[in-house]
Amino acid sequence: MSRRKNWRVLSLLLCLLMAVALLHRCSVSRDRPRPRLIPRILHQVGESELVFAEYSFAIESCRRLNPNWTYILWRDKDAELLIKEFFPDFYRTQYAKYTNRLKKSDSIRYIILYLFGGLYADLDVECMKPFSPDLDEEACFLDQENPAQSHIFWNKERSAMNSVMGCRPGHPFMLDLVSRMAESPSNQAVMLSTGPLMLTKALDEWTAQGSQRDWADSVRLMDPDIFSPHVDNADILMDACRKRFGQPANDGELWVDRGCRDLQFGGLKDNFTERTVAVHWFMHLGWYSLKEREHIQRINISRLVPGVRFYREHHAQLKQLIKATPPALGNNKIKDADEAEQ
Ligand SMILES: *[C@@H]1O[C@H](CO)[C@@H](O)[C@H](O)[C@H]1NC(C)=O
Ligand SMILES: *[C@@H]1O[C@H](CO)[C@@H](O)[C@H](O)[C@H]1NC(C)=O
Ligand SMILES: *[C@@H]1O[C@H](CO)[C@@H](O)[C@H](O)[C@H]1NC(C)=O
């Protein structure tokens, strides 16, 4: 064989080898699970460290099933400190002026998930199994309301909820939510300014613009059976139907709305499945008036979660868990956020 021919065979072999190696690499990387981006931090929000005793079973269940997770309770004074530090403009123009407790409670959730990442859950969320490994491969996820309920309450096919959310730190969607809150007029209703209607609208727009978006910047609306297998109290749903369609004139008359009609026929059904990770029980204790709240039995969170962390008391330690810092919230907010990510 000539030297030249030898060389050609050799290079052909080399090419083949490289092709095989490349193919193998591709198939391996496709099969490999995605890296876990969401840190193991469970955030909950309460006025003070004295939480309603009725929540105890739920708080304890999440602690018991996720013993390795850092647990942070965000009291009003912790939330204030963090927002002043990292979103001073938002603090001054919005947060400090919120008279509605729910607006305060909603807004801190998006801010902590942006800065720290982790998982947020309402205090009336009971855990059914550990968060890991089921949620390990998500970059960001939101709870979805039981669809019958969304239909009745909002006349929508689906609605996102902020009762359970998880996100990697620095996710631009969370920053987008803060921008939306910053722009909302002060007299706007809580659902539209900080709550589920704002969240759902933001998600719809995020999804619509998302065709060329990276997986790490995606947001997933979880199927309702993951966190919301339970349907809210039927009285509230009946009231919502009456408000929208009026009282049926007689027993035979049916509401036209699909969800309301189901309600007339024996009520809506819960949908627990083997995929259910946690249950949002809709206890609505946060809706009590100030006067009523005084009489509710409370328990010190330290008794339920011995390792609980507070931003005020464990400031230096918790600051190290902050993995993202916000770009200044000026004009062109969404664009700024995208640039900050690059
Ligand atoms: C807690 O974490 C350790 C190591 O980080 C691991 O070995 C252990 O299985 C974890 N326990 C639970 C209950 O997840
Ligand atoms: C219950 O959840 C599963 C999984 O999301 C879904 O396929 C099914 O349609 C749901 N059933 C009802 C009655 O809503
Ligand atoms: C809650 O318990 C902790 C730890 O025992 C204690 O330091 C704190 O003062 C208690 N808070 C209240 C409001 O009683």
The continuous run of DSSP H or E covering 6 comes out as helix 3-31
pLDDT at 27: 47
Q: Report the relative pairing of strands 125-127 and 50-52 from DSSP bridges.
A: unpaired
- Ligand 3: centre distance to CA 61 (Å): 21
| 98 or 261, higher pLDDT | 98
Q: Which domains does the chain have, with CATH numbers?
A: 34-229+274-341 (3.90.550), 232-268 (no CATH)
pLDDT at 341: 39
Ligand with smallest separation from the Cα of 49: 3
In this prediction, residue 246 has a pLDDT band, given cuts at 50, 70 and 90, of: confident
As a whole number, mean pLDDT of residues 235-243 equals 84
In this prediction, residue 26 has a pLDDT band, given cuts at 50, 70 and 90, of: very low
| 61 or 151, higher pLDDT | 61
Which ligand 1 atom is nearest residue 68's CA? Answer: 1
Contacts of 37 (CB under 8 A, 6+ apart): 117, 138, 139, 168, 216
Nearest CA to ligand 1 atom 2: 68
Q: How many angstroms separate the Cα of 266 from the Cα of each of 169, 228, 262, 305? A: 44, 20, 7, 40
Tell me the best of 149, 151, 225, 275 to mutate to test the pocket of ligand 2, counting ligand atoms within 8 Å of each CB and taking the most. 225
Burial class (CB in 10 A: 0-12, 13-18, 19+), 188: middle
In this prediction, residue 259 has a pLDDT band, given cuts at 50, 70 and 90, of: confident
Q: Is the Cβ atom of 68 under 6 angstroms away from ligand 1?
A: yes
pLDDT score of 310 more than 80: yes
- Ligand 3: centre distance to CA 155 (Å): 45
Nearest CA to ligand 2 atom 10: 271
Nearest CA to ligand 3 atom 10: 300
Q: Is the Cβ atom of 212 under 6 angstroms away from ligand 1?
A: no
| 44 or 295, higher pLDDT | 44
| 251 or 91, higher pLDDT | 91
Residue 309 C-beta-side C-alpha neighbours within 13 Å: 15
pLDDT score of 335 more than 80: no
pLDDT score of 57 more than 80: yes
- Ligand 2: centre distance to CA 125 (Å): 20
- Ligand 3: centre distance to CA 300 (Å): 6
* The two structure tokens encoding residue 100: 């509605």
210-229 per-position pLDDT tens digit:
867 888 999 999 999 999 99
pLDDT at 253: 65
Q: Which amino acid is at 109?
A: R
pLDDT at 296: 86
As a whole number, mean pLDDT of residues 271-284 equals 93
137-178 per-position pLDDT tens digit:
999 999 999 988 888 888 888 999 999 999 999 999 999 999
Q: Is the Cβ atom of 223 under 6 angstroms away from ligand 2?
A: yes
pLDDT score of 179 more than 90: yes
Nearest CA to ligand 2 atom 12: 271
Ligand with smallest separation from the Cα of 129: 1
Q: Which residue has the tokens 């030249």?
A: 4
- Ligand 2: centre distance to CA 224 (Å): 8
In this prediction, residue 289 has a pLDDT band, given cuts at 50, 70 and 90, of: low
Tell me the best of 51, 302, 308, 312 to mutate to test the pocket of ligand 3, counting ligand atoms within 8 Å of each CB and taking the most. 302
| 239 or 26, higher pLDDT | 239
* The two structure tokens encoding residue 51: 């939480």
